[in-house]
């Protein structure tokens, strides 16, 4: 009888003990789980050490724009001024001076670069106006920073019939104030400004084109000198 009673007692006590142990274990696990979750959430919320969340960003100071060396404030050539004299190499490597054409009408035109689309249109328009320009005794002198070799290629490719001059160091371009800041596709840079200067038989500037339409430039030249006859 005693053995049976002991068996019953062990049967009854065992499940209760295991239940209590299980509850304690689940409580500990749950407590650890909540602690870990709390720690993770606290890490996310709490700002990192050494970093200030309310940092004020100081406005950037804009660097002063550099003024082009070619453009001097208050200075530029005007109608009535004597045209600056010069001597440059042409497409054949020969020295050409403005003074060589004293007593004739001269158009000195500055263009950015040989064989580019706009410059080609402008040059071909002057080429095709050879007859009326000759009749008006107008000499065309095109000036760019290209080498004489490149100008020769331009002449041959487009069958040009007037003088092209090489101003590689930009000295003549700057003396005519045709070198300055340019903008292209949001980029700023210094380069040759497309401008034309009409010079009479006495070497005086009688007209200046600061904005040139490459498609009608030749006609503007012809019309101007026709009206001066």
CB of 210 closer than 8 Å to CB of 124: no
- Secondary structure element (H or E) that encloses residue 143, with its range: strand 138-144
Active site residues: 119
Question: First-to-last CA distance in the chain?
Answer: 149
Alpha-carbon gap, residue 70 to 190, rounded angstroms? 9
Supply the DSSP symbol for 90. E
Alpha-carbon gap, residue 47 to 80, rounded angstroms? 72
Q: Give the tokens for residue 101.
A: 């054409």
CB of 125 closer than 8 Å to CB of 117: no
- Residues near 142 by Cβ (< 8 Å), separated by ≥ 6? 109, 111, 123, 126, 162, 163, 164, 165
CB of 214 closer than 8 Å to CB of 109: no
Q: Give the tokens for residue 62.
A: 């804009």
Q: Give the tokens for residue 203.
A: 């070497």
∠ CA 84-85-91, nearest 5°, is: 120
């Amino acid at each position: 009888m005693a053995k049976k009673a002991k068996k019953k007692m062990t049967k009854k006590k065992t499940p209760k003990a295991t239940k209590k142990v299980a509850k304690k274990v689940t409580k500990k696990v749950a407590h650890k789980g909540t602690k870990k979750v709390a720690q993770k959430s606290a890490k996310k919320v709490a700002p990192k050490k050494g970093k200030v969340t309310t940092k004020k960003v100081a406005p950037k100071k804009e660097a002063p724009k550099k003024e082009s060396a070619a453009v001097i404030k208050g200075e530029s050539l005007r109608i009535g001024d004597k045209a600056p004299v010069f001597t440059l190499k042409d497409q054949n490597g020969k020295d050409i001076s403005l003074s060589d054409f004293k007593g004739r009408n001269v158009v000195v035109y500055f263009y950015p670069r040989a064989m580019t689309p706009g410059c080609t249109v402008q040059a071909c328009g002057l080429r095709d106006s050879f007859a009326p320009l000759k009749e008006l005794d107008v000499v065309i002198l095109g000036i760019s920073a290209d080498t004489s070799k490149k100008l020769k290629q331009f002449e041959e490719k487009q069958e040009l019939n007037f003088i092209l001059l090489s101003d590689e160091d930009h000295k003549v371009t700057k003396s005519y104030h045709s070198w300055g800041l340019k903008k292209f596709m949001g980029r700023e840079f210094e380069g040759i400004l497309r401008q034309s200067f009409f010079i009479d038989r006495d070497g005086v500037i009688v007209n200046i084109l600061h904005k040139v339409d490459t498609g009608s430039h030749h006609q503007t030249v012809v019309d101007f000198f026709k009206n001066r006859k």
